[in-house]
């Protein structure tokens, strides 16, 4: 009871934290007239000035108000958009390593440009993590003019393959033209070059897979990432909570004969739900499936074996179980699609195709 009364009087912990940050917002606002008087060249020169000041001992926190004022002015000149006070406040929160909860329409993408620019001044690279390839490309194209005006390079990494085709990475280049509007001002480069940019946009899973691949290379020259200094995560609840249940695993193709899979599929198609197998939805959103005694006996009869659990049949038993999971728990054109003979999973949160992603255990 007392805590509720106190909260009404002095506000919640978050309210008190935000209240302490408002003087910084006011400092950024006070610098706006000064930034408006600068020429485009003088505004761009601010980036090198900030880098020199960092070398001489100033901290990012020291530079924050002026750096944020520079980004706001660059956004006004390139996009015709001005960071509102609530966006500046959100940008300060992001720089401190906290989560900024912003509603749709409050300009999260524009907000991220301030802490991204500030932390990129260190020269150690900034990663902006999105939920899909489309947003990575769109945001880089959209915010690219701001960074470009201030002398920073912007890279984009995307899923390495689509329909089996390798896809390039990009650098934002306003002078690069292409007939494909999806890649407007995005010049194809190597993945390593995209990571060498001051700010790199990409999908969360690709940052993770590149990290795993970098730990498997035989030569340091083969690494594409250059370190992990500062990252801004869009849709943080989706990526750090929902997607946390999806492990990132690098695997190779199975050496087993395709006939094994065909046999497992043929067996499972003859099983009856509720008799030969059952689905249990307790404690699992998708459910778990298991064979009944009748189902095991039926499989042994179909395979003409005495004991399905004999070590000689363990691999086949595993594939039968996996085939049963595929048939009982996954629906075609809902959980996956078949395209050009290839099974492609569908992201249950976004509905987008997940090229290159596979379920574990075959």
pLDDT in tens, 37-89: 999 999 999 999 999 999 999 999 999 999 999 999 999 999 999 999 999 99
pLDDT in tens, 330-354: 999 888 898 877 888 887 766 777 7
Strands 288-291 and 277-280, bridge-based pairing: antiparallel
Q: Kindly state the tokens that stand for 130.
A: 């999105």
Orientation of helix 133-149 relative to helix 108-120, angle to 10°: 60
Closest CA to 92 of 122, 115, 73: 115
pLDDT of the residue at 19? 85
CA atoms within 13 Å, Cβ hemisphere of 21: 22
pLDDT of the residue at 160? 64
Strands 230-233 and 126-130, bridge-based pairing: parallel
Q: Kindly state the tokens that stand for 216.
A: 């498997």
Helix spans in the chain (H):
2-10, 13-30, 32-36, 40-55, 60-78, 85-95, 108-120, 133-149, 191-196, 204-214, 236-237, 258-268, 293-303, 314-329
Q: Domains, the chain, ranges and CATH?
A: 1-120 (3.40.50.300), 123-250 (3.40.50.300), 258-329 (3.90.1440.10)
Structural contact between residues 129 and 231, judged by C-beta atoms closer than 8 angstroms: yes
Q: Say whether pLDDT at 10 is over 70.
A: no
Average pLDDT over residues 135-160: 95
Closest CA to 190 of 200, 179, 203: 200
pLDDT in tens, 193-206: 999 999 999 999 89
Of the listed ranges 140-149, 181-190, 230-239, 343-352, the least confidently predicted one is 343-352
pLDDT in tens, 269-287: 999 999 999 998 876 778 8
Q: Say whether pLDDT at 122 is over 80.
A: yes
Closest CA to 329 of 289, 277, 358: 289
Average pLDDT over residues 214-237: 92
Q: What is the pTM of this model?
A: 0.75
**Who wins on pLDDT, 261 or 176?**
176
In angstroms, the CA 160 to CA 262 distance is 29
Instruction: Classify burial at 204, counting beta carbons within 10 Å of its beta carbon; exposed 0-12, middle 13-18, buried 19 or more.
Output: buried
Angle subtended at Cα 65 by Cα 61 and Cα 67, rounded to the nearest 5 degrees: 90
Q: Say whether pLDDT at 166 is over 70.
A: no
Closest CA to 60 of 230, 227, 226: 230
In angstroms, the CA 184 to CA 178 distance is 6
Q: For residue 167, what pLDDT band results from cuts at 50, 70 and 90?
A: confident
pLDDT of the residue at 104? 73
């Amino acid at each position: 009871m007392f805590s509720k009364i106190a909260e009404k009087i002095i506000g919640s912990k978050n309210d008190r934290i935000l209240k302490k940050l408002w003087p910084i917002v006011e400092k950024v606002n006070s610098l706006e007239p000064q930034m408006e008087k600068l020429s485009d060249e003088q505004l761009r020169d601010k980036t090198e000035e900030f880098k020199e000041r960092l070398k001489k001992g100033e901290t990012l926190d020291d530079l924050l108000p002026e750096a944020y004022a520079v980004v706001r002015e660059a956004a006004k000149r390139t996009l015709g958009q001005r960071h509102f006070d609530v966006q500046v406040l959100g940008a300060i929160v992001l720089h401190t390593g906290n989560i900024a909860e912003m509603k749709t329409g409050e300009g999260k993408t524009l907000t991220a440009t301030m802490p991204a620019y500030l932390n990129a001044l260190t020269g150690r690279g900034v990663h902006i993590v999105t939920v899909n390839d489309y947003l990575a490309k769109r945001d880089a194209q959209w915010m690219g003019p701001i960074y470009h005006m201030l002398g920073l390079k912007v890279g984009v990494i995307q899923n390495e393959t689509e329909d089996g085709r390798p896809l390039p990475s990009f650098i934002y280049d306003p002078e690069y033209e292409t007939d494909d509007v999806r890649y407007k001002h995005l010049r194809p480069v190597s993945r390593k070059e995209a990571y060498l940019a001051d700010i790199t946009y990409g999908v969360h899973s690709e940052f993770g897979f590149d990290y795993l691949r970098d730990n498997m290379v035989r030569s340091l020259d083969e690494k594409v990432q250059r370190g992990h200094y500062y990252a801004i995560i869009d849709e943080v609840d989706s990526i750090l909570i929902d997607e946390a249940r999806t492990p990132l695993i690098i695997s190779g193709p199975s050496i087993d004969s395709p006939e094994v899979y065909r046999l497992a599929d043929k067996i499972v198609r003859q099983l009856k739900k509720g008799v030969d197998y059952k689905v249990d939805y307790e404690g699992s959103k998708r459910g778990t499936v298991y064979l009944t005694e009748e189902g095991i006996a039926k499989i042994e009869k179909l395979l003409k074996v005495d004991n399905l659990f004999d070590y000689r049949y363990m691999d086949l038993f595993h594939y039968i179980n996996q085939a049963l999971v595929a048939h009982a728990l996954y629906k075609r054109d809902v959980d996956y699609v078949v395209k050009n003979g290839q099974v492609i999973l569908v992201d249950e949160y976004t509905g987008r195709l997940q090229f290159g992603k596979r379920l574990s255990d075959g």
